[in-house]
Structure 1
Amino acid sequence: MKTEPLFTASSDLYQNELGQPVGPTLKNWVPCQSPPRTPLVGRFCRLEPMAPEHHARRLFDAFALDTSGKNWTYLFAEPFTDYEAFDRYLVETCCGDDPLFYTVIDQASGLAVGMAALMRIDPRMGVIEVGHIHFSSRMQRTPMSSEAIFLLMSRVFDELGYRRFEWKCDSHNAPSKRAAERFGFSFEGIFRQAVVYKNRSRDTAWFSIIDREWPHVKAMFEGWLAPKNFDAQGKQRQPLRHFRADKE
């Protein structure tokens, strides 16, 4: 998808009765529904609403494979070495309606391998964010990572009719920024000194997909996820970028 310049004069100007430029009228807009606490099912993974009594132990084991703790650097929590503390964290932090956390389950093994959340949910404006993404080494660089994000996108746009899907991250988090662009998000800018966490200042990079862009992003993911794009060992034949509408 082509990224348009952020600040350009539009050729499709709308004016109110006073001759002032305004945004286009949304004639049939109605507020969206909040995301339901129901699973999302794909070919490689499924997303289940967070349930520590079912997911905590296997999530703890999956995250423990990161012995350096580098996967926690840009998250708000520190690495957990104690299972009971991790279980309390999930119960106290990850079981509400906003953020609405999902556990990623590997369809092949049935193991919990990661988590992500829908957050800053604004049904009235039709805006929602994906965040708290923590994919263990069991799902990094596998089709599950991309499919999990696609399942959330599909719920937000196709099922619930939201207008805008946001991705935000620490401006120093290069892997997260690359992932956002790979998934079809457009970079919007840096919010300077937007967050304080872990006793440090964070400039936040903002990305988004809006509803009129979704059909192209959806087609990209569907082309990539098609069974014919994977060999007998489950390895991709073509990368996700191959299916971008604007690829060179």
Structure 2
Amino acid sequence: MSARMHADDVAAAGTAEERGCLPRKRGRKRDDALDQQILEAAIDVLARDGYEHMTMDAVAATARAGKGAIYRRWPSKAQLVVDALARSSATEMPEPADTGSLRGDLHALVDGRPKKDDARMLRVMAGLVAALPLHPDLAAMAREQLVEPRRLRQRALLERAVARGEIPAGRDLDSLSHLMPALVFYRQMVLAEPIDQDFLNHLIDQIILPLATAAVPADSSSAISGR
């Protein structure tokens, strides 16, 4: 009878699993340490070889990981590169703090960035920018995962300032949210000059704040409305 009861229990369990009452067996747990090892190796190889010459074989060798393990996590080189940059501490941008004023919010935002320029990361970003026009898939992923999240955080500061009355209603917040990263990029990548505290203070106090808070001229019929 015990054998019969065991068979009935197995059948009942199978039926319950089919109905979703019991959890199905899961695959092997993902190794977060290996993920980080691969991501760091990807940045190392990207800095050394550039995007065009970067290979998954080189990343696997640097990470001391199987190529299959890499492809199971990132099906393409573009996905690996963008994810590595998005999760790198060198490109982190903190959540926008609410200090009570636009000036305070902007300074808090830049105070949270890495204090020193990473020469390796600058080489990586320069090589990535050069590759974007040649690889539409890479460009689309970079915009979605790297550019837009950072721009939207800056826009959130501007929207709060509008709500406080610091920025006039109707100001073009989209263009303003592009301005700071555009000027930082130009200084780093074109002028090859450091992003130091003096530059950031000047950028906020002499450029961003005056443009954001200036009154809209009464006869301005060509002003771009905020979106």
Query: How high is the TM-score relative to the length of structure 2?
Result: 0.30
Q: Whose strand fraction is larger, Structure 1's or Structure 2's? A: 1
Greater radius of gyration (CA) = 2
